Structure 1
């Protein structure tokens, strides 16, 4: 096991311990709290909050992936090429409006809670997945696509059996970027009563308790690093299976 993998395993183990039994770390976090303040977040269960945070990110990323990949497939087909500018504009909406602005617009229609946060994360995650899918589908090896046409594959067969599998590592890179961005951005959902790790950070800021801020920030940060590394490893595995890793290295 390399040092990097050992550090990842150690970080994961510490994160699990913190979520399952946070009192074990009361001595450490007590260094960042005043004598009259609690060292461990006491307004909710850290494990439940973290699971809910991850659930919101997963749902938003899944929705972004379905829509973004679907749009990219359509505009790379002959019948949908003319919709590329419109699709790109739609994918850019989330980057044009900050998540806070989307939340402010969504709350009057959807109310407080998880729904506005899902909308904000969904819109914010569209662009990287759309652009990466577009890149993956438009930069396939011509020899492979020509061979698929030569053996009589239909357009649907080429898409499912050739194009998407070859483009999958690039698509996954977009999903990885979108997921990590959403993981951090989801914290602002607590400003509209969504149950995310942002509530731990906000509680620390409003009470001047640095220990709470540190707990929320560390959990989000460690989750982001671990998920990023896990998706990167999956991406490399897919590239290796399709022979793209060797071509990239060359």
Structure 2
């Protein structure tokens, strides 16, 4: 994903916030996209609350995927768990094998309509990038640092918590960033199974042939993805800089 120039990030954030809190201010810009009698601004709910619910769904799914993926990466990089690497790779690839729409179709009969099927789809879809990056981060650590930690008498648990994970964190965060950006876009399909996401705005626009609604939903998701991508990327650089100090 292309990053925004630093000078544009704050203006984009402020415009996005203004649109979510006061969408009526932007009605003149959207009016040419709709027929005379059609509303130019989404009027079937609060864009602000839909955005918060969208972000909450992505956050919950990403946190769950991070815990599972990083735990698996730690397991298979230990001597006792190395034999489980092929199995772990097969497990985290499930989300990439089944499209999110297929996961939703399978989950709805079990969990019903709403947020749960969407969380499951996003969780499965987000596992792979986090796992692979965590695996890379934990297996490419400087051998001299690990040997020095052993020589200092640190236990395996101490090495993991105090040396390995802090050094691997920037690479792990890259996987989390990729997972978040994917989930932000993918979460929109959750509205097809009655989850409260920004997909509701896009679907409403498609159903009523209202281009302004479709544009609003799409642009909000795109702006969120770019802003969060850039924020996490800046955090990665900061952590990487500290790791090399």
| Offset of residue 4 of structure 1 | 2.0
Alignment correspondent of 1:94: 95
- The reply on whether 1:107 has 2:127 as its aligned counterpart is no
Alignment correspondent of 2:201: 200
Structure-2 separation of matches of 1:29 and 1:122? 35
Alignment correspondent of 1:76: 77
Per-residue CA deviation, residues 35-81 of structure 1 (Å, 9 max, x unaligned), is: 11100000000000000000000000000000000000000001100
SS in 1 for 2:181: helix
Per-residue CA deviation, residues 162-198 of structure 1 (Å, 9 max, x unaligned), is: 0000000000000000000000000000000000000
Per-residue CA deviation, residues 209-238 of structure 1 (Å, 9 max, x unaligned), is: 000000000000000000000000000000
- The normalised TM-score by structure 2 is 0.98
Structure-2 separation of matches of 1:6 and 1:21? 23
| Offset of residue 141 of structure 1 | 0.3
- The reply on whether 1:66 has 2:67 as its aligned counterpart is yes
Alignment correspondent of 1:186: 187
- The reply on whether 1:7 has 2:8 as its aligned counterpart is yes
- The reply on whether 1:56 has 2:57 as its aligned counterpart is yes
Per-residue CA deviation, residues 64-104 of structure 1 (Å, 9 max, x unaligned), is: 00000000000000110010000010000000000000000
Per-residue CA deviation, residues 106-137 of structure 1 (Å, 9 max, x unaligned), is: 00000000000000000000000000000000
Alignment correspondent of 2:233: 232
Alignment correspondent of 2:165: 164
Large movers: runs of 4+ above 3 Å: none
Structure-2 separation of matches of 1:215 and 1:132? 33
Aligned residues: 242
| Offset of residue 23 of structure 1 | 0.2
| Offset of residue 5 of structure 1 | 1.9
**RMSD of the TM alignment (CA)?**
0.9
Structure-2 separation of matches of 1:151 and 1:243? 20
Structure-1 separation of matches of 2:165 and 2:229? 22
Structure-2 separation of matches of 1:39 and 1:113? 27
- The normalised TM-score by structure 1 is 0.96
Q: How does 1:130-145 map to 2 (within 5 A)?
A: 130-145=131-146
Structure-2 separation of matches of 1:147 and 1:30? 66
Alignment correspondent of 1:32: 33
SS in 2 for 1:153: coil
Per-residue CA deviation, residues 1-59 of structure 1 (Å, 9 max, x unaligned), is: xx922211000000000000000000011121111110000000000000000000000
